[in-house]
Amino acid sequence: MPKLQVEERVITILAREFDAAPEQLSGSTLLIEHLRADSLALTNLVLEFEGLFKIHIPDEDFKNIKTVDDVIRCIERFVQYPNENASVAQSLIYGEAVRQGAPASTDSVLRGRQMKLYA
C-alpha cells in the first residue's frame, strides 16, 4: 500500500475520531496532548487500524505511538513488510489457534514461546 494512501487514511480516521479538520493535523501532532486522546481512544484506534489495514500492532509498538507520524510509520512497517515481520506471522498463528479452540488469553501462543496445534 502506498505511503500516501496510508497517511490519508490515518489522518481521515484521526480527524473523524477527534473532531478535527484533517488540515489541522500534521505529522508532529501529539495524540494525547493535542488531540486529547485517552488510553481507551488509543486502544480503539489501534483496533480500527488493525482491522482496516489487516495487520497486528504489538503492544510494545503501541506503547511507542505518540504522534501522527508514529502511527503512520508503525502501520507502514507492518503493511509493507509483512513477510519480514514476525509479529504478523505470530498474530496469524494466534488467530488460527483461537479459531481452533485455544483460549483467547493464551499469551504464550501470541508471543511465540510455545506452539501447540489445536484440532
pLDDT tens digits for range 84-117: 445 555 555 555 554 555 554 444 444 444 444 4
Beta bridge partners of 67: 30
| Bigger pLDDT: 69 vs 60 | 69
The 8-class DSSP code of residue 29 comes to -
User: 107-111: long-range contacts at Cβ-Cβ below 8 A with a sequence spacing of 24 or more?
Assistant: none
Q: How far apart are the first and last CA of the chain?
A: 35
Assigned C-alpha cell, 70: 508514529
pLDDT tens column, 61-77? 888 899 999 999 999 98
Residue-range domains of the chain with CATH = 3-80 (1.10.1200.10), 83-119 (no CATH)
